Amino acid sequence: MITDSAIAAMLESEKARFEAANPKSRALGAEAARHWHRGVPFHWMLDWGTPFPLFAERAEGARLWDVDGHCYEDFCLGDTGSMFGHSPPPVARAIAEQASRGLTYMLATEDAPIVADELAKRFGLPFWQVTSTASEANRAVIRWCRGITGRDKILVFNGCYHGAVDDVFVDLCDGVPELRKSLVGQVYDVREHTQVIEFNDLAALEVALASGDVAAVLTEPALTNVGMVLPDPGYLEAMRELTNRHGTLLVFDETHTISSGYGGHSMTYGPKPDIFVVGKPVAGGVPCAVFGFSAEVAERMEQLREEGEKGHSGIGTTLSANALALAAMRANLTEVMTPAAYDHMLPLADRLAATLEQVIASHGLPWPVVHVGARAEFICADRAPRNGTEARASMQGALEHAIHLFFINRGVLIAPFHNMMLVSPATTDAQVARLAETLDECLGVLVP
């Protein structure tokens, strides 16, 4: 058993160790605080829980160096943005070459047909569009779904995250829908147009869709932003059948679950959605996202456009599908996100999960390791969660904070949110061993 006093002692010790080891980051943090709000260019850079922000100097493959010269085994990988490694050489070359020819034109380039062919072949949907972020893609998809179905409601799952999209910031609290408190400045009640239920609750899904007013179900095939919640056997297939039956479009946001296998979770395990969204890693870390859709959806989009104005739709931005993003995406899809890359990542992630299970068991803890594809997470609870409510209940904020800080001080990065880890094509067996050794050392301090 891990006591509160053991957690508090570790936090105090690790904070002092971090402060002593990172004088350049401390100084840069003080300088940045003069004009950056809260001292960082964007607020989630504070989510690591360090006494002051950690400043990076460079990264390559699956390693990162900070400004104080410390090297980290990186299992966070930009929270999936660098899932295929930091600055893969083909992507770096493509960026450099395109930068010399112009960054954005508001015109297509010769990369466009190659990228589209790659997307269609890999993800099994014939038509595609590009945005700058997955948030933009999800926002566009919600609008299209409402437009082509003539329905105003979408359905999401408790604990979901689909970027900075107002419509999805609804949670369940004791079974009652509530606006997420982090939705700053919201002036209308999104619950009027968004339903929320628990993941893996098939009966609730049947009831919600039977009303016939839901335009789309928007979900990750496995939840990853409230901790990892895997679908029950047959759940996604039942979701596919129910959405078909009730005329609801099925949208899979695979921005994280792209790690499940070549072609993402839906092409690896099924079923296929009507619309597919992926952002973050698709262009090797360059801001870019895509959404793909079926021929039927494309036809309905065209019908809607014929009925309305032909100009501004409120979908997309000037920098969407810019030349730099297309060049990076072409290099990443054709030379980096390859079957060979997954052939390295998936078995190594299997070994990572098995090794973590052994380490945790050796300290007499009941913590499960949840794992799919190249993504894994150890959960500081008695069992793996089946929905967002259980996932939130399993979170141990102070304990996870102490573990993360312990890792950082010993040169290991995992995601700052819960205990998520990614394996990249550049990750080695030695790095996996070092992560496991660090967890072993950490638990040795925490468990009497």
Would you state the structure tokens that stand for residue 155, as one six-digit string?
Answer: 């359905």
Tens of pLDDT, residue by residue over 129-139, are: 999 999 999 99
Nearest to 157 by CA among 136, 144, 171, 167: 171
pLDDT number for residue 315: 83
Average pLDDT estimate for 297-316: 83
Average pLDDT estimate for 44-62: 96
Nearest to 411 by CA among 444, 436, 435: 435
Which segments within 48-199 are labelled E, that is strand? Answer: 56-60, 63-66, 71-74, 127-131, 153-157, 170-173, 176-179, 194-197
**Long-range contacts, stretch 253-256, CB < 8 angstroms, 24+ apart:** 253/134, 253/138, 253/162, 253/218, 253/219, 253/220, 253/277, 253/278, 254/220, 254/221, 254/278, 255/80, 255/134, 255/163, 255/220, 255/279, 255/280, 255/289, 256/80, 256/220, 256/224, 256/225, 256/280, 256/375
Contact assessment for residue 289 and residue 279, using Cβ atoms and an 8 Å cutoff: yes
Average pLDDT estimate for 115-126: 98
Question: What confidence category does residue 309 fall into, taking pLDDT thresholds of 50, 70 and 90?
Answer: low
Backbone angles phi, psi at 365, to 5 degrees: -100, 150
Sign of the torsion formed by the C-alpha atoms of 338, 343, 347 and 348: negative
How much is the mean pLDDT over the chain? 96
Would you state the structure tokens that stand for residue 430, as one six-digit string?
Answer: 């030695």
Say if residue 145's pLDDT is above 80.
yes
pLDDT number for residue 311: 64
CA distance 83 to 434: 19
CB crowding 128-157: b at 16 or more within 10 Å, else e: bbbbbbbbbbbbbbbebbbbbbebebbbbb
Average pLDDT estimate for 4-12: 98
DSSP string, 285-317: TSS-EEEEE-HHHHHHHHHHHHHS-SS--S---
Question: What confidence category does residue 307 fall into, taking pLDDT thresholds of 50, 70 and 90?
Answer: confident
DSSP string, 431-447: HHHHHHHHHHHHHHHH-
pTM of the model: 0.97
Quickly count: other Cβ atoms within 10 Å of residue 22's Cβ: 25
CA distance 197 to 177: 8
Question: What confidence category does residue 314 fall into, taking pLDDT thresholds of 50, 70 and 90?
Answer: confident
pLDDT number for residue 1: 85
Maximum Cα–Cα distance across the chain: 69
pLDDT number for residue 187: 86
Say if residue 308's pLDDT is above 80.
no
Say if residue 312's pLDDT is above 70.
no
Tens of pLDDT, residue by residue over 188-245, are: 899 999 999 999 999 999 999 999 999 999 999 999 999 999 999 999 999 999 999 9
Contact assessment for residue 163 and residue 138, using Cβ atoms and an 8 Å cutoff: yes
Q: pLDDT over 70 for what percent of the chain?
A: 99
pLDDT number for residue 99: 97
Question: What confidence category does residue 182 fall into, taking pLDDT thresholds of 50, 70 and 90?
Answer: confident
Average pLDDT estimate for 310-339: 91
Contact assessment for residue 401 and residue 49, using Cβ atoms and an 8 Å cutoff: yes
Question: What confidence category does residue 287 fall into, taking pLDDT thresholds of 50, 70 and 90?
Answer: very high
Q: pLDDT over 90 for what percent of the chain?
A: 94
